[in-house]
Amino acid sequence: LSVFPESVTLGSPESSEQLIVIATDENGVTSDVTRQVTVSFAPEGCATINSQGRVIPLEDGQSTLTLRLNNLSVDVPVRVSGITNPPPVSFRDQIIPILSKSGCNSGGCHGKAEGQNGFRLSVFGFDPAADYDAIVRESHGRRLFPASPERSLFLMKATAIMPHGGGRKVEPDSRWHHLMLRWVREGAFADQTARDPVVQLKVYPSEITMEALAEHQLRATAVHQSGLVHCVTIESEFLSNNEVIAKVDRDGLVTTTDVPGEAAVLVRYMGHVAVCRLTRPRSKENYPRPSEANFIDPLVWNKLERLHVAASPPADDSAVLRRTYLDIIGTLPTSDEARKYLSDSSPEKHQRLVAELLDRPEYADFWAQKWADILQIDKDIVSPSGAIAATRWIHSQFRDNVPYDRLVRTVLTTQGSTLSESPAAFYQVHADAEKTARAVSQLFLGVRIDCAQCHHHPFEKWDQKDYYALAGFFTGIQRAALPGGGMKISGRSGEPLKHPRTQEIIPAAALGESPAAITAGGDRRRVFAEWTTGSDNPFFARTIVNRLVAHYFGRGLVEPVDDLRETNPASNEPLMKALTAHMIEVRYDLKAFTKTLLNSQVYRLSSVPEPSNELDDQNYSRAAWKPIPAEVLLDAISQVTEVPEEFNGWPKGYRAIQIWDNKLPSHFLEVFGRPSRQTVCSCERGTESSIAQALHLMNSQTTTEKLQSRHGVCARLAGSELKDTEIIEELYLRTLSRYPRPEEVELMSQAFSGNASLVAGANTDSGTPSPESGSTAAARQKAIEDILWTLMNSRKFVFNH
């Protein structure tokens, strides 16, 4: 039996110390028994302990706390002081945390921009001085009543003794109530004896492995500049990033579910954050370790072994073929390409396929459209000519395999006309320094810094100074209107921005860095671009790695893919580090990096779940089912039916993934989630299935006309000399990239006999029988249409798996 901390020191009436008691069995397995031990003090009187394991002071003195579990025990020395002569209450370190934990200064209450009912606090207490004025001085000081402190509006509203729209936030006669009351009684001073600043928040344990339906208490401690450490568990806020696996209550008690996997518990206190990483393995059953093709595989297998989760077996050749085509070039393999690949017995055929697809022109088409979405190339903002120019530039970067770091440097430092083939349109979309900084940070650094515009980021270390320091790199951008809706972009030296509250001048600085050295008259963006793509940048390589992993594997190592932060850790940090190092090693060659990802065994796993991994969606134990993007799906339907989509105003034969016009009228593309390019977030593209999508595939004019076209594949196959079984084979190969199974051939063959009977009956009933050959052809085409309609409406067609 062990306990943390090993001793307790309490220095004021409202202080407390959270204990965590751990039992270790004969096999070395540990468990939290904080709520199961029996307790006793010798001598009694100076302190007590509640059912949650929190030691609470009663009077000055010393004692020994004994914790017992069965025949085991452990002693904890306890020292209490500051009860008779308590230290003054600190507004910043003791009152502000109460307001934060109670939600009083949240964005939904008094922390919102306009406040609540005339009372406004800074969000999450980032401005204690302003909060002090709001409580003590505003409204003629009516919120405090020094003559009768317990009748202060500040206390009576919080305890709901007086009606309060937010309900009761502080329990009457509780530790928090006593602390707030003592602060008012002492004179409600503004930190006359405030502790030295908190510089770090720690959580214990920082890593933990738990069984299903188990509990474990967390303990939070604040570390001050002087080295002083004190327990702030009760004042801290706790939040799980994955409640499917683990939940946490307001007091820091973590409870696991029956779903295996990993979760991170965020702990927040006074603008500081800490994270506890939690692993919830399955049973102790072990599974055979799959083979390895490159360094990715052992890092994934190691994680699965720790979770006691099996990897699905390798996918068959047809699934890998279809997946690889859709992932690299956004195009289905033709039936001939499928036959060729499936008949190839070479063990290197997958590696050859990956290399061949990366060299096909469709690769640049597909990825140019994807990055036009990300860079928000919206024709309504940059003009049609500007959208064409920007898309052509993006296309050339992927066609020529320009290294990603060079691509980003060009985007950041671009100058010239938005109507020329360049990324200048990026600065027409993002028309001011702050908007540009937010976009650049999220796109290329994976940091969502938006929150820091107004207050300290609730889940990160960034504050308003960091926000305006970053925006300071983009103050020198000049935008001059050109005929035709374009702009001329140029870079000047610019000026640093001012803090909106303090009016302090904030020098330009990269995230987490000292102020940048900017040459007088020079373009500030060049300094930022060098830092962004430099080898010391901790964000840049990880961000593009995460984007590519999310695209090819169906889930990023961090989700959302553009929200990389300490409090949102990677699901497999060793893999993230290895892939980041590899990206730097290949000098940001995206094709080389893609080959590494796709040549792993992990990429080629089956999407069919095993009993142990059916609930796992974060550790790559099986291939993900990925919705096919709207443009790719429309092209796929056109390809399998042999009826190209006709886009209004575009030459015949263009595919949807080649269209630069993000506002091209298309009900199909709208229904299936084409993004509007209004934000840099990849979440803008719709990925959720809907009834509208299902009905559109089943009944829309787009589907019906392509199936019934006299120039389409159904008519061509109906008029061919192919046997029914050969037609079924052809349809399966062109839709699912595989041969039909015998039972599928038998089932689909019934369509031919059934439609022949229907046509014959219709001719007899009409009294005007058609020539037998015509009846047979009509029945055959109807059967082919039915089979192809069935395949196109199957989940295996509309998903990449």
SS (H, E, C) 541-560: HHHHHHHHHHHHHCCCCCCC
pLDDT at 771: 40
Q: Round to whole Å and give the CA distance between 48 and 38.
A: 12
Q: Round to whole Å and give the CA distance between 698 and 779.
A: 20
Dmax (CA) of the chain: 110
Confidence of residue 292 (pLDDT cuts 50, 70, 90): very high
Cβ pair 463, 452 in contact under 8 A: yes
pLDDT at 264: 93
pLDDT at 649: 85
Measure the CA angle with vertex 121, ends 119 and 124; round to 5°.
150
Q: Round to whole Å and give the CA distance between 801 and 689.
A: 15
pLDDT, average across residues 568-597: 97
160 and 235 fall within a common domain: no
Average pLDDT of the chain, as a whole number: 91
17 and 130 fall within a common domain: no
Q: Round to whole Å and give the CA distance between 166 and 171.
A: 13
pLDDT, average across residues 99-128: 82
- Which class for 152: exposed (0-12), middle (13-18), buried (19 or more C-beta within 10 A)? buried
661 and 752 fall within a common domain: yes
139 and 48 fall within a common domain: no
pLDDT at 702: 85
- Domain span at 8: 2-80
pLDDT at 767: 45
Structure tokens given for 352: 């050859």
772 pLDDT more than 50 = no
Of 50, 80, 110, the position where a domain reaches its end is: 80
* CA 82 remoteness from chain centre: 46
75 and 98 fall within a common domain: no
Of 25, 60, 80, the position where a domain reaches its end is: 80
Q: Does 577 map to a domain? A: no
**Structural domain total, the chain:** 5
Confidence of residue 282 (pLDDT cuts 50, 70, 90): confident
Coil vs helix vs strand at 777: helix
Phi, psi (rounded to 5 degrees) for 181: -65, -40
Coil vs helix vs strand at 68: strand
Of all residues in the chain, the percent with pLDDT exceeding 70 is 97
pLDDT at 769: 41
pLDDT 10s digits, 53-101: 999 999 999 999 999 999 999 999 999 999 999 999 989 889 999 998 8
> Nearest Cα to 307, choosing from 332, 280, 338?
280
169 and 111 fall within a common domain: yes
- Which class for 535: exposed (0-12), middle (13-18), buried (19 or more C-beta within 10 A)? exposed
Q: What is the CB neighbour count within 10 angstroms for residue 281? A: 18
Measure the CA angle with vertex 431, ends 427 and 434; round to 5°.
105
Q: Element (H or E) spanning 727, and its range?
A: helix 724-736
Q: Does 350 map to a domain? A: no
Q: Round to whole Å and give the CA distance between 582 and 594.
A: 11
Give CA separation, 94 vs 88, 157, 191, 268, in Å. 10, 18, 10, 15
Q: Round to whole Å and give the CA distance between 63 and 51.
A: 19
- Among the residue ranges 286-290, 329-333, 363-367, the one predicted with the least confidence is 286-290
23 and 117 fall within a common domain: no
Q: Does 139 map to a domain? A: yes
Cβ pair 250, 233 in contact under 8 A: no
212 and 145 fall within a common domain: no
- Which class for 266: exposed (0-12), middle (13-18), buried (19 or more C-beta within 10 A)? buried
pLDDT 10s digits, 511-552: 999 999 988 878 999 999 999 999 889 999 999 999 999 999
Q: Does 85 map to a domain? A: no
pLDDT 10s digits, 361-371: 999 999 999 99
- Give DSSP secondary structure letters for 299-365: HHHHHHHHHT-PPPPBPPHHHHHHHHHHHHHS-PPPHHHHHHHHH---TTHHHHHHHHHHTSHHHHH
Q: Round to whole Å and give the CA distance between 325 and 341.
A: 12
Cβ pair 319, 327 in contact under 8 A: no
Of 185, 217, 243, the position where a domain reaches its end is: 185
Q: Round to whole Å and give the CA distance between 646 and 574.
A: 48
Q: Does 207 map to a domain? A: yes
Q: Round to whole Å and give the CA distance between 24 and 72.
A: 11
Q: Round to whole Å and give the CA distance between 326 and 629.
A: 10
138 and 117 fall within a common domain: yes
Cβ pair 280, 256 in contact under 8 A: yes
Looking at residue 59, which CATH number applies to its domain? 2.60.40.1080
1 pLDDT more than 70 = yes
The 17-18 sheet, strands edge to edge: 17-18, 54-57, 47-49
Q: Does 597 map to a domain? A: no
213 and 172 fall within a common domain: no
pLDDT at 766: 45
pLDDT 10s digits, 163-205: 888 889 989 999 999 999 999 999 998 875 556 788 999 999 9
489 and 389 fall within a common domain: yes
pLDDT at 260: 84
759 pLDDT more than 70 = no
pLDDT at 756: 59
- Give DSSP secondary structure letters for 734-764: HHHSSPPPHHHHHHHHHHHHHHHHHHHHHHH
Record the pTM. 0.87
Give CA separation, 363 vs 309, 373, 392, 395, 592, in Å. 35, 16, 14, 9, 14
Q: Are strands 215-217 and 253-256 parallel, antiparallel or unpaired?
A: antiparallel
pLDDT at 178: 93
> Nearest Cα to 550, choosing from 687, 393, 361, 396?
687
pLDDT at 195: 62
> Nearest Cα to 83, choosing from 191, 210, 202, 182?
182
Q: Does 563 map to a domain? A: no
pLDDT, average across residues 480-494: 90
Q: Round to whole Å and give the CA distance between 453 and 449.
A: 7
Q: Does 771 map to a domain? A: yes
Q: Round to whole Å and give the CA distance between 508 and 336.
A: 57
244 and 381 fall within a common domain: no
- Which class for 763: exposed (0-12), middle (13-18), buried (19 or more C-beta within 10 A)? middle
For 505-508, the CB contacts below 8 A with 24+ separation are 506/465, 506/468, 506/469, 506/472, 507/469, 507/472, 508/469, 508/470, 508/472, 508/473, 508/475
760 pLDDT more than 60 = no
